[in-house]
Chains A and B, each alone.
Chain A
Amino acid sequence: MAETEILSSPGARLVDVVRRFFEGDVFYSFRRSPVVIVAFAVTVIFFLGAFLAPWLAPHNTFDAATLNLLDAFKPPAWKADGDRSFPIGTDDQGRDVLSTIMYGMRVSLLVGFCSVALALAIGVTLGLLSGYIGGALDALIMRVADVQLSFPAILVALLIDGLARSFLPRSMHEELAIYVLVLAIGASNWVQFARTMRGSVMVEKGREYVQAARVIGIHPAMIMVRHVLPNVTGPVLVIATLALAVAILTEATLSFLGVGVPPTQPSLGTLIRIGNNFLFSGEWWMTIFPGAALVLLVLAVNLLGDWLRDALNPKLR
C-alpha cells in the first residue's frame, strides 16, 4: 500500500525528529534566553577543551620527558617574567597550568559523567521497579533509600575510598582510584533518581495507556521499558544535569582532601589542592585558574539544568 510506504524510511524519521526538536517549545525557550545560550557555550567550550586536550593543549603535562624543572613557578605570560609558551603560568614541577587544567577537566568530567551514569542506572532501575510493582518491594527499596540519605554523600565516598585503600595494594589503588571515586560518588547519588522515578512512574502507571497495554497482556517488564520509561525521562534528565554539577564538585572536594585521584593524573580538585600550598607564597595562578575553571563549569551546568527544568515543566511554560 503506497500510503503506508513513508513509514519505513529511517532517514525520514530522523529528519522528522530533528525538525520537531527545532520547532518545539524546548528549543524556543532556549533561543529566548541569553543566559542559557552563554551557559551552553561555556559548557561546550569546556567539554571540547577537556576531551580534545591531547590535541589542543599546548603541552603534554603527563609526558615527564618534556617537563623541565627550570620552568617551575613561571607566572602568567602578561607578567614581567612570564613566558609566552605558558600563557597562564606553570606549577611547582614546571607543568603548564593551562594544559593541566585541560587534562584535569578531562578527569573531572570523566568521573562526573561516569558516576552520574552509575547513579542513573541504579536509581532509574530501582525507581521503576519500586513505582511500578509497589508493595513490599517498594517499601524495601524506599527504606534503603532513607538509610542511604541519612549518610552525607562525602561520608559515603570517604568510606568506600577508605575501604578500597585498606584492601587494595597501593599500586593497584592508584590504578583503580578513578573507578573507586565513580563508585563512591555514584552510590551516594542514586536516591534522588530513584525517588523521582518512583513518583513519576506511579503517576504514569495509573494512566489509561498503561492499562491499555495491560489489557492486551503485554509483559510487565515490556510495559515498564517501552511504555512508562519514555514518558518519565524529562524529570530524570533535569536531575541528571544538576547531579553532574554536584558530582564534579564532590570529586573536586575529595581530590582536594587528598582521597580522590592520585597526583599523577590530577583532576581540577587535585590541582587546586597542590596550588593551595603556594597561594600565600605569591604563586596564586596555580590555584586561582583551576578554581575559576571549576566554578565556571559547575555554574554553567547548573544554569543549564535549571533552564531544562523550567523548559520541561508544562506549568511554567
Chain B
Amino acid sequence: MVEPLLRVADLARYFDVSPPWLNRVLEGQGRAILKAVDGVNFTIPKGETFSIVGESGCGKSTVARLVVGLYRPTRGSISFEGHDLASLTTRAQMAPLRRRLQMIFQDPFASLNPRWRVADIIAEPIRAFGLIEGRQAILDRVGQLLRQVKLAPVDGEKYPHEFSGGQRQRISIARALASQPDFLVCDEPTSALDVSVQAQILNLMKDLQRQLGLTYLFISHNLAVVYHISDRVAVMYLGRMAEVAPTKILFRRPRHPYTRMLLDTIPDLAMTGRQRQPVAGEVPSPIDPPTGCAFHPRCPHANDRCRSERPEPRALPDGALVACHGVEEGRVPDGPIGLVQG
C-alpha cells in the first residue's frame, strides 16, 4: 500500500484549564483537564479532500492546529510522508516540512496583519523559506500568486482593510500557496463569508486542487459545504471520531446515531417536506465528558454497555468506520434518511 501523505495515529491534546493555584487551595477545587482531542486516527492520501465536521467544542479546530504544529500533541503521532513530525525538534529541521504544509484560517479579518501591505503578506513565506532571491523576482512571484487567486498584481500595493471579506480570503489562500505546499489545512475557510462569496471561494479551492494537485484537510460545521468539497468525511464528537466514511456513503447511509442526528438538522432547502426528528439535548462539557460513549446521554439507542464501555472505531464492509456499540450489535437502524437519492 502506498504511504498516505498524512497519517495521524492516536492523536490527543489536553488543555489544563484549572483555576489558579490560589483558588484551588482556598476553594478546594481540583485540577481541570479539557480533553479537546482524545485519541483520533485518520490518514489522508495525496490529492484527497478529507473533512472533519462537528459542533463547536468537538475538537476539530484543535486537530487542524495540531497538524500544522501550532500545538504540540499530548499523545500520539502525526506523520507526513512517513516522517514523524515529533522527531523534528529544531526550526531548521522543521522548515522543509512546514513549507509543504500550510493553513488557511477562518476569519479573513483577523488572518492578515493590518499593518502590512498585501504584497509583503504574500511574500512572507517566500522570504522565510528563502525560495526566491531578489526583490523584483519576489514581486513577480507575488503578482503571479495574486492572479492565481483571481486578484490583480496591483492589489499587492494595498492594505488588507481595502478589501472585502472574500478578497481577503483569496489573499490568505495566496499566502498559503506562496511556499508551493502539497497540503493545505483549511479551518472553516468559508464560515465567515456570505453564501455567494462562499461559492466563489469553494470553486477557487477546487480549481486550485485540480491545477496544483493539492491535498486538503477541511474543517467545517457546515454539512452541505462538506458534502460538496470532500472525498471522505469524519464526524467528531467531544474529541473522538464517531464515524469516518467516504462522503457518498456517509450521507447516503449514516450509521452512527450522532451522524444521523447531525444530518437530520440540514435545512430542507428543496422543500420536499422531509420529516425530521427534533434533536434533543446539547453537547456536554468536554471537561467532564460522559462515561462510556460520550454521546450516550443524547442517544435514543443507548444501553448499559454504552454508558460504561467506550466504543472503538470498527470497519464496515463498505469502507465506513463507526465507533458505536449499537451499530456493532445491530440495534441501531441504518437505513438512508432521504438526503441523497440512490
Contact = CB atoms under 8 A, between A and B. Distances in A.
A211 B104 CA distance: 10
B115 A230 contact: yes
Contacts of B33: none
Contacts of B136: 4, 8
Contacts of B117: 7
B215 to A, nearest CB: 16
Given A1-B140, A217-B95, 14 more contacts: A4-B119, A7-B139, A8-B136, A208-B110, A209-B111, A212-B172, A214-B70, A216-B98, A216-B124, A216-B125, A216-B128, A216-B129, A230-B113, A230-B115
A11 B152 CA distance: 23
Contact of B94 (A3, A6, A8, A217): A217
Interface residues of A, number: 21
Interface string A216-249: 1111000000010011000000000000000000
Interface of B: 65, 68-70, 91, 94-95, 98, 102-103, 105-107, 110-115, 117, 119, 124-125, 128-129, 135-136, 139-140, 142-143, 152-154, 156-157, 172, 175, 179
Contacts of A217: 91, 94-95, 98, 128-129
13 contacts: A1-B153, A4-B140, A4-B154, A7-B119, A209-B113, A211-B70, A212-B172, A214-B69, A215-B69, A215-B70, A216-B128, A217-B95, A219-B91
Q: Please list the 10 inter-chain residue pairs (A to B) with the smallest Cβ-Cβ separation, ordered nearest first.
A: A208-B111, A208-B105, A4-B139, A3-B153, A230-B115, A217-B98, A209-B113, A208-B110, A207-B110, A215-B103
A213 interface: yes
A4 B151 CA distance: 13
Contacts of A214: 69-70
A1 B69 CA distance: 36
Contacts of B107: 208
B175 A6 contact: no
Contacts of A230: 113, 115
B119 to A, nearest CB: 6
Nearest to B185: A215
Nearest to A222: B128
A17 to B, nearest CB: 11
